[in-house]
Structure 1
Amino acid sequence: MELRRLRYFVAVAEEGGFGKAAERLGVVQSAVSQQIRRLEHEWGVVLFERTTRRVGLSGAGERLLPEARAVLAAAERAARVAADITAGDEGVLRLATVHGADDRIDRVLGELAAGAPRLQVRLHRLPVARRLAAVRAGELDAAVVRAVPSAPGLELLPMWSDPLYVGLPESHPLAAGRELRLDQLARLPLRLPLPGDPCFHELITGALRAAGSRPVPGPPFADLRSTLTAIGSARAPSWTLFHEVRGVPSVPRVAVRPLTGLAVTTSLAVRPGPPGPALRQLLRSLRAVEGVDVR
């Protein structure tokens, strides 16, 4: 069934004749008559009672007119939704984020909600390898990743970089410095975060190797605050490394110093090529909030 025939049916019913319906539709009268006959044949009913003086709806036509209007209205709604999706104003954005994301992600999503209030955002929490695999497979539109140097088959759009900080006993001689370098810390036992975040783990170990040293294994790393507390209370000195998420923590007997020469970059992993409508909205929000010129 063609929507055009339904439009002709509704126009004839509302105008009360084929000639006026043709004028309204901008076509010749014979085209309207032909399409109505085809619709009647398709449905197996007579839609109009025709006389030399007037054209009126038949009983079947009266019953079917509301249904035809409902179908046309639904088609118009679908067209509007499709246009909104194409513009990025509606649809679904499937986004994976990092664990312990800072408020910059919240600000970007807030800007996105304000600029495209009908766009649904579905957040996913996945390990980094699964995040990247889901983007490659088209299961996600984008993924926020941290300390990932490369991702075969994907583009990494840098969003921001964060400095790294060293936590060590405030009684240690190195705590007297305002900034620290990796080579200064190479002989001090390192409470290195476990490879649950393999990219951050590799960033640190790779930087130590580049500095000509290997990390001296220290006691295990728990969460950041517990680890800093242990560093401040332990008899044997050790250190750890972290990046700021929601402020630099203050822990008794622990000195926190910036690390020079190394930072952690947070990127948006996307498939190559022009971004889809929902992703375009996300990139627009990212530019508005962070001033990041991506794509």
Structure 2
Amino acid sequence: MGASMELRQLRYFVTVAEELHFGKAAERLAIVQPAVSQQVARLERELGLRLLDRSSRRVTLTGDGERMLREARAVLAAADRATEVAAELAAGQAGVIRIGSSAGLRERLDRGLSALRKAAPGIEIKLNSRPPGEQVEAVRSGELDMAFVRGPVTAAGVRAIPLWEEPLSVLLPSSYGSDAGVKLVDLAALPLRLPPDDPTLADRLLAACREAGFEPLTGRPVTNFEDTVVEMTNGSPAWTVVYGNACESGEEPLWMGPFDPPMTVSGQLVVRESPAPPCLDVLVRAFA
């Protein structure tokens, strides 16, 4: 998809596809017919696809055109919804903002949502927790208005705004703990247990272990953190990682604390790239 493709081009294409006539599409759009033809042709060039079959008698959709029509309608619907939500927020009117969240962000959310309510009184806030990849796609499609995601975001159609750096803490058998923190290389013989739906954490740790000179042993996935702690406490030695500052080291046989040297991941606010909500500065101030 061409980087310069515009919503206007999609809207013109959808109108022509629905009318199957350039003249009728131009009337519906209240513009001249050559402008419609020019923009649709430009869209085809940027996509490298032929979307319409044109003849002196009729216009028909190609197979690529039919598939593109479904996608274009979805993009336009999301853009229209985004404009409505942004307008409500900017005006401080009653509305709903849908926020994608992740585990371990309660303190930041409490603080940010309190600030957001002061900036936009009467707004209704709906939180939605799902894996990071699904959150980004939900923002792109308009299902979510914004999301908090850890790690890099490279998806098209969204904008990621870095807001914070979050430390990582390690939980492991007490014999590995140290007041100075735990060195990764000392964990080479211990299985690493991680949640299956957090590729950011997995990629961060895999890269760090390789930099330390070893491939981590793969332990069973962490599907429930409390169950994992019970298993590790009762004879299943392993190490796992949690977001945030270390809590109290606790009692035998487990220890929780920082890495040596410390490890962090970035936290980002993800919004649609276009149209960006006019209230974006309010959101950034609230949750930074």
Q: Secondary structure at the match of 1:277?
A: coil
Who is 1:157 aligned against? 161
Is 1:240 the counterpart of 2:215? The answer is no
Question: Following the alignment from structure 2 to structure 1, what is the Cα–Cα distance between the partners of residues 225 and 92?
Answer: 40
How far apart are residue 101 of structure 1 and its match? 2.8
Q: 1:155 touches 1:271 (CA, 8 Å); kept in 2?
A: yes
Question: Following the alignment from structure 2 to structure 1, what is the Cα–Cα distance between the partners of residues 152 and 87?
Answer: 34
Q: 1:146 touches 1:267 (CA, 8 Å); kept in 2?
A: yes
Q: How has the CA–CA distance of structure 1 residues 111 and 195 changed in structure 2, closer, same or farther, with 3 Å as cutoff?
A: same
Residues 145-294 of structure 1 mapped to structure 2, 5 A cutoff: 145-148=149-152, 150-170=154-174, 172=175, 174-190=176-192, 192-234=193-235, 237-244=237-244, 247=247, 250-259=250-259, 260-272=261-273, 275-286=276-287, 292=288
Question: Following the alignment from structure 2 to structure 1, what is the Cα–Cα distance between the partners of residues 220 and 182?
Answer: 21
Q: Structure 2: which amino acid aligns with 1:130? A: E
Q: Secondary structure at the match of 2:190?
A: coil
Who is 1:89 aligned against? 92
Deviations 1:3-57 (A, max 9, x none): xxxxxxxxxxxxxxxxxxxxxxxxxxxxxxxxxxxxxxxxxxxxxxxxxxxxxxx
Question: Following the alignment from structure 2 to structure 1, what is the Cα–Cα distance between the partners of residues 222 and 89?
Answer: 47
Question: Following the alignment from structure 2 to structure 1, what is the Cα–Cα distance between the partners of residues 285 and 104?
Answer: 23
Q: Structure 1: which amino acid aligns with 2:148? A: V
Q: 2:157 touches 2:274 (CA, 8 Å); kept in 1?
A: no
Q: Structure 1: which amino acid aligns with 2:224? A: D
Q: Secondary structure at the match of 1:109?
A: helix
Percent identity between matched residues is 32
Question: Following the alignment from structure 2 to structure 1, what is the Cα–Cα distance between the partners of residues 122 and 89?
Answer: 13
Which residue, out of 125, 129, 139, partners 1:125? 129
Q: 1:101 touches 1:245 (CA, 8 Å); kept in 2?
A: no
Unpaired runs of 5+ residues, structure 1, are 1-80, 287-291
**Matched residues, number:** 203
Q: Structure 2: which amino acid aligns with 1:211? A: A
Structure number with greater Rg is 1
How far apart are residue 111 of structure 1 and its match? 1.2
How far apart are residue 245 of structure 1 and its match? 7.8
Using the size of structure 2 for normalisation, the TM-score is 0.60
Q: Secondary structure at the match of 1:110?
A: helix
Q: Which moved more, 1:276-285 or 1:209-218?
A: 276-285
Who is 2:108 aligned against? 104
Q: Secondary structure at the match of 2:282?
A: helix
Q: Which moved more, 1:266-275 or 1:126-135?
A: 266-275
Q: Structure 2: which amino acid aligns with 1:214? A: E
Q: How has the CA–CA distance of structure 1 residues 118 and 233 changed in structure 2, closer, same or farther, with 3 Å as cutoff?
A: same
Question: Following the alignment from structure 2 to structure 1, what is the Cα–Cα distance between the partners of residues 129 and 167?
Answer: 24
Q: Secondary structure at the match of 1:267?
A: strand
Question: Following the alignment from structure 1 to structure 2, what is the Cα–Cα distance between the partners of residues 258 and 265?
Answer: 16
Q: How has the CA–CA distance of structure 1 residues 251 and 115 changed in structure 2, closer, same or farther, with 3 Å as cutoff?
A: farther
Q: How has the CA–CA distance of structure 1 residues 154 and 166 changed in structure 2, closer, same or farther, with 3 Å as cutoff?
A: same
Q: Secondary structure at the match of 1:118?
A: coil
Residues 72-87 of structure 1 mapped to structure 2, 5 A cutoff: 85=88, 87=90
Deviations 1:179-201 (A, max 9, x none): 122222122222x2132222222
Using the size of structure 1 for normalisation, the TM-score is 0.59
Q: Structure 1: which amino acid aligns with 2:140? A: R
Question: Following the alignment from structure 1 to structure 2, what is the Cα–Cα distance between the partners of residues 257 and 266?
Answer: 20
Q: 1:112 touches 1:281 (CA, 8 Å); kept in 2?
A: yes
The alignment's C-alpha RMSD in Å is 3.1
How far apart are residue 146 of structure 1 and its match? 1.8
How far apart are residue 263 of structure 1 and its match? 0.9
How far apart are residue 89 of structure 1 and its match? 0.9
Q: Structure 1 stretches (4+) deviating beyond 6 angstroms?
A: 81-84
Is 1:116 the counterpart of 2:120? The answer is yes
Q: Which moved more, 1:107-116 or 1:221-230?
A: 221-230
Q: Secondary structure at the match of 1:195?
A: coil
Q: Secondary structure at the match of 1:85?
A: helix
